[in-house]
Amino acid sequence: MNKLFGTDGIRGAANKYPITSEMVVKIGKAAAFFFKNSGRTKIIIGRDTRISGDMIESGLASGICSMGADVLLAGVIPTPGVAFNVLKNEADAGIVISASHNPYYDNGIKFFNNKGFKLSDQAETEIEKLIFDESKSQQKNCSNEKIGRIYKLKNPVKEYADFLKNSMLPSLEGIKIVIDCANGAACRAASLLFTHLKAEVEILFINPNGENINYKCGSEHPDDLIKKVIEKKADVGFAFDGDGDRLTAVDEKGDRLTGDQVLAVCANYLKKNKRLKNNIVISTVMSNMGLGIALKDMGIQHILSGVGDRYVMEKMIAKQAVLGGEDSGHMIFLDHHTTGDGILSALRLLEVIKKEAKPLSSLAKVMDVFPQVIINVEVNKKPPIDTDTDIMGIIKYVESILGQKGRVLVRYSGTQPLCRIMVEAPTNDDAQKYAKMIADTVKDKLFRST
């Protein structure tokens, strides 16, 4: 049985396995079976702006209803907006149709439980078993009088935006902001929220057509945002990814902050204001070495998790932390929401800028970023890295050269056919050189024509 779930749900090219109409119906049926309760099961479905969203939404809804569960459609809405609406509507689960920062031709499916949290590995494994084990779910359609119904939520995006509004400062007057919505799920929510601020706001990329999501825009492509921040002499720029759970921040000089820098800025502010519960910050093993040093200098305990925002969340819950995130831009403020939220992260950073009355470039100096290079190598197989003697040999060689002055991390992407090579070193040239050495070996060993 092929493993469907990666680090952030099920993902692939739309209309190709596993994101086919036939497979999506099975996923919907399995989800309804897994999340069923003693009464009438309710499952919320939200999506981003991809052209394939309608097809996947219809398939999921069909599968869910065939099992006697009801569907509540939220339409186009950020991923964290689905989590919010699960809680507000007391639903049994939420399903998000999105491939995050990927191109429009990809899509994916991920889940929230009835508490608004992403699922554990164990829960995903159980759903995967149900998808392929017809004796447990596929052949047990409900009787015709119990078939589920499909309802549209009335104002899911506005209610989500109102929820965010309640977590922000009363006034951001005097701050000039530029926002890039990636032609994605955050377009309407961000427009509803930021146009009501007492700040000067310009919003870019808010005209989705099904195919332009993340295209030369959004958190992965902030070039136009940077130009506009400089042109408008803005105080800050924000870019969201396609599903609105990730943030890229740009300072008033047009310099892009890493997710780790944003985390360090927020951690420093929360600690100073005695709001950093248990004095702990969670980040992943991909975090820049500079973050750990900065947090140590602040007197904050730094705990690492696996890669993926749900692993950050799991560690936050275990350690009772309120702040965590990834260098990629997923930020979790657990005292405000149950999942990573790009818009909420922007609001929190705006609070810091306003209260500290300092430019973002100055605030970001709390952390020195170590030169870091990440190379993504396309692979057509994913054997355990530590079983390949050639790859392990070059990794150990580079590690022996870097010693305590650098770091190497090699791992597979959980959502794409890629191997990620990350090297930190005293200089950018060193990081580039050693990352390329490892990448060349990985490419030679893991991408052979079949």
Given 98, 100, 328, 413, the catalytic residue: 100
Q: What are 95's two structure tokens?
A: 């399903």
DSSP state of 448: -
Asked if residues 96 and 47 have their Cβ atoms less than 8 Å apart, the reply is: yes
- For residue 50, the tally of other CB atoms under 10 A from its CB is 30
Q: List the alpha helices (DSSP H) in 178-321.
A: 187-194, 223-232, 259-272, 289-298, 309-319
C-alpha to C-alpha distance for 412 and 376, rounded to whole angstroms: 9
Nearest Cα neighbor of 72 from 49, 43, 40 is 43
Strand, coil or helix: what is 38? coil
- Structural contact between residues 371 and 426, judged by C-beta atoms closer than 8 angstroms: yes
Q: How many CB atoms lie within 10 A of CB 275?
A: 12
Give CA–CA dist 225/228, Å, rounded.
5
What is the enclosing helix (H) or strand (E) of 45? strand 42-47
Q: How far apart are the first and last CA of the chain?
A: 21
Inter-residue contact 48 to 184 (CB < 8 Å): yes
Longest dimension (CA), the chain: 69
Q: How many CB atoms lie within 10 A of CB 328?
A: 23
**SS3 at position 326:** coil
47, two tokens:
């999506």
Q: Which two tokens stand for residue 196?
A: 């009501």
Pair 238, 179: CB distance under 8 Å: yes
Structure tokens at 229: 């921040």
Q: Please report the sign of the dihedral spanned by the C-alpha atoms of residue 423, residue 429, residue 430, residue 435.
A: positive
Which two tokens mark 35? 């999340």
Q: List the 93-97 sheet strands across, edge first.
A: 5-6, 9-13, 106-112, 93-97, 42-47, 70-76, 150-152
DSSP tally for the chain: helices H, then strands E: 14, 18
Active site residue 328: no
The Cα 18–Cα 41 span in angstroms is: 25
Catalytically active residues, by annotation: 100
